[in-house]
Structure 1
Amino acid sequence: MEKGYLLLETGEIFPGTLIGSQEESIGEVVFNTSMTGYQEIMSDPSYAGQIIVFCYPLIGNYGVNANDFEAETLYAKGIITGELCTAPNHYSSERTADILLKGSKISGLTGVDTRELVKTIRKRGTVKGLITNEIKQFPTTTSTNFLVKEVSTIQPKVFENPGAHIVLIDYGHKKSILHALLKEGCKVTLLPYHATFEQVKALSPDGVVFSNGPGNPEELKNQLADIKMISTHFPSLGICLGHQLIALAFGAKTQKLRFGHRGGNHPVKEISTGKVFITSQNHSYVVKEESLDLSEFEVLFKNINDGTVEGIRHRNLPLLAVQFHPEANPGPHDTTYLFSSFLKSIYERTEVKSYAIK
């Protein structure tokens, strides 16, 4: 197996062994603290443009199966692990993680000192990295891709069910968000990221969900007017990037965290009750609390570790937005109730019946 390196734009070099496609790849280097769920993490569209560093040392030990993908395509730029299991043992395993990476044309490194790498990212903040087979000068990069356009659906898609009609605006949605809505009996219409208020209005939905997705929410500033109109006229739920976009649409500001929140072990406090939920998260940006109009919004949740805003609710509209992932794939499942709560508010406002599949 060929020796490879992760070169950071700040000058640090981390040696390892090349895996996957073994081609040069450059991206934003981020770390995830989850102990399980590597398949869901690798296939999450929110990782578009990023090189994922797994904090948990052993990856690939239960293989890869057909059911646990969060998207049909892997959009990450690379994978970094301490160890990579090449002989997985699980009844549902169909192939190894390395074979998945090769088939998806994604490069990676294993045998890396991920503990030291994560400490470096925490010290430096999120930086760009290059996976390569030689030590050389870090390339000058100026162009950035509009990542949401790469991961959003191109054409509308309809998933029939007898219950409430939900429009899911796709900024790079995880499959588990769609499945959570379908499990509740909803008919779901998936729309591209640039869906307008008039397009949504023409569908007469009972509610709208603004999905997760990659990148800086301010790149979608041209959609903010439509997002505000949609969330003003229809019961709405924002998740992750969708949460940030709703806040921006109503005049708030966002900021980039030093190294983001990524993992399945982030504690979030519900302000009204003091109850703590363990949540799944994957984001670089947060809503600045001081920029929120507190006469219009109340803060529902805060991150225990750094005090950042994790959820908001409009005081007059049926509008809720959360920074974490209530669909919880990979887990935990503490906040999955938010889907049923959102739909309950819809059923209470309309004559649509609940057809939840239990």
Structure 2
Amino acid sequence: MHTRLYKNGVLEKEGFPIEDVSDYVGDPSNTVWFDLCSPTPADLGVIGEELGLHALAVEDVLSDHQRPKVDTYENHLFITVYGVHFDDGRLDPVEVNAFVTHNALVTVRESDHFDIDEVIRRWDSSAHLAEHGVGFLLHGLLDYVVDGQFELVQDLDAQAEAMEESVFEDEVHDSRELQRAMYVLRKDTARLRKITMPMREVVSTLLRRDQGIISDPVLAPYYQDVYDHVLRVTEWVESIREMLANVRETRLAQQGFRLNEIMKRVTSWAAIIAVPTMITGFYGQNVPYPGEGQSWGFWMSLVLVALTSVALYTAFKKRDWL
């Protein structure tokens, strides 16, 4: 069981049944956390009754594809964020909901693809802040979520820069592979943008003093640090989108340029072939013409074909059409 009990900032119990939570939350000196992974509506209903959670907040947990947000209710906050996860090489965000009361934090994960054990390790690494109660627990959760998004945006930026450089490499000829990689990267960036842009509002709402979650001045710099990382992530995502748009436009311009080059070559060879065809066709008429029935007429046609072909080839080559 993912459960923990802190008393006066000291970890006293963990792994106890969730049914015992109601026995601990009544003591103001206790701070309780427990985690639910893919719970049933019945499980959420029981937790909602024990902690007095609002029915709309419980309903939002059961609804898929919620926007990252903070909802304020009379006796608790409801927070929705997304952890990053890859499935078959593509970004598949994992929804994580949190109920925050005065001395309890309830995390509800969409699936076990969100590593809650890493969040626990972060709590243990900064155990000296546990005396600040539920604000300490919530910071560890948000810090892990934002750090995961930050690491992902760094990786996407590196992929975008590599793709930008590969566009101008002469040895890149597999346009289908490049287009597919560009499509996947643009789709991952768009998905990441949907879950990172609202995070600014989430963290800024928690930073407001009237929320009472981080009224302790000791925790304020930690939440401010999370907010700074959120801003960097959102700005970085926008820069990646602009970079990918530039790569796409450059790629289209290159394709247009190459098409023009091909058309010039085809047109040049067609002109070179057309002139000899015209000359030989002229000498194939069934009417009298100069040199008819004479050997010099044959040789004159060959000379005209050779001279015009060489002249056209030289002219097109000089203009870089061939």
Shorter chain as normaliser: what TM range?
A: under 0.3
TM-score, structure 2 as length reference: 0.26
Higher relative helix content: 2
